[in-house]
Amino acid sequence: MPVEFDPRFLHNDMSDDVNRDMLMEGPSEQRDVPLTNLKTFAAGIIQRDILVDDIIAIFAHCPNIEHLYLPDISERRDVEKIARITVDACPRLSILYLNFDFEDGIGSIALLNNILELMPAQQASKIKFSDTTEPLDPHTMRRLFQRHSSTLRYLDLSRCPTIPSKVLQVVFQECFALEELRTYSSPDSGLCYITLEDAVSVDWVCLRLRCIEIEIGIELSPTFLSKDKAYFRRQPPIVLSEEETRLFGLLEQLYRRLGALMDLEEVDLRATDLGRDRDSTLEIYGIFISRHVEPW
């Protein structure tokens, strides 16, 4: 059975009284046999007083790790070296999640990017960037997504307010094996969206999508939803303005791309008016049809 391991004992910020009590009982017998059944490894905050040799020693005993919750090493300078150690020691690694469970820091985008760059091409199957406040570079993301385009099935970019729209455009353009895309936003975390123009200006190759959670950014004219001038409040025959015609043309292109996703089981499609505050999402929600089916 796969074993999960949380190395919080590597630093002094012990919040688990049970673990602290266990450590105070005295040193335990050192284990020389590798943890061959260990598949999931959840690392905490690697502080500066933890040597790279200590990290090497840990991974040397965990040769079969497949799922890694990356530690926070935002204050360290040896990110590339740690990434190389991780890749060399964990040849089966395919699932990478940034870890944001600790109050003392945020996860390291640099470490995640380095691991994805150094690990064998077409190996990563699940990547989770969620909750990061560090900006993601579209050019770097294109290179990394291309490197794992035939194996990447799950991508979570939820609550990442600094992710440019172009990064999401790259996802649709490159990740042809993708089956699940999460980009949930909340009022507290800020917006994570792709502009309507970016969404329809490229052909979507991710035709295997079964679950998509996406927010579309649209800049609406002041009259689009006004109480007396909105298109749906006019007396027939309704004549659309040039701007309304352009917008509905873009929406049609978006719907056609969604309609081509024949394997869809769950859709969460939202819109936000880029010219207003967050509350306007509810006002223009009627533009979209959001359908939920039991997740796969």
Predicted pLDDT at 76: 59
Residue 52 near residue 78 (C-beta atoms within 8 A)? yes
Per-residue pLDDT tens digits of the chain, which is 296 residues long: 444 444 444 443 444 444 445 444 555 566 677 888 999 988 766 665 566 777 777 888 888 999 998 877 755 567 888 889 899 999 999 999 985 544 444 447 888 899 999 999 999 999 998 767 677 788 999 999 999 999 999 999 887 766 789 999 999 999 999 999 998 776 665 678 899 999 999 999 999 999 999 989 998 877 776 667 777 778 888 888 888 899 999 999 999 999 999 999 999 998 888 876 544 443 343 444 333 333 33
Query: What CA–CA distance (Å, rounded) separates 270 from 223?
Result: 21
Nearest to 213 by CA among 260, 158, 263: 158
- Nearest CA-CA partner of 214 in 275, 260, 163: 163
Strand, coil or helix: 126? strand
108: buried, middle or exposed (CB in 10 Å: 19+, 13-18, 0-12)?
A: buried
Residue 25: per-residue pLDDT = 54
Asked if residues 115 and 87 have their Cβ atoms less than 8 Å apart, the reply is: yes
Task: State the pLDDT at residue 285.
Answer: 38
For residue 262, what pLDDT is reported?
A: 95
CB atoms within 10 A of CB 232: 7
Count Cα atoms within 13 angstroms, Cβ side, for 118: 20
195 touches 215 (CB < 8 A): no
| Cα–Cα distance list, 141 to 125, 165, 293 (Å) | 15, 12, 30
Residues in contact with 255: Cβ distance below 8 Å, sequence separation at least 6, in sequence order: none
Output the CATH code of domain 121-287: 3.80.10
Q: For residue 62, give both structure tokens.
A: 């965990």
What pLDDT score was predicted for residue 75?
59
Q: How far apart are CA 296 and CA 274, in angstroms?
A: 32
| All structural domains of the chain with their residue ranges | 121-287
Task: Give the pair of three-digit tokens for residue 157.
Answer: 């970019």
- Whole-number Å distance between alpha carbons of 183 and 164: 12
116 closest CA partner among 158, 39, 175: 175
CB 225 within 8 A of CB 170: no
171 residue type, one letter: V
Instruction: Output the pTM of the full model.
Output: 0.79
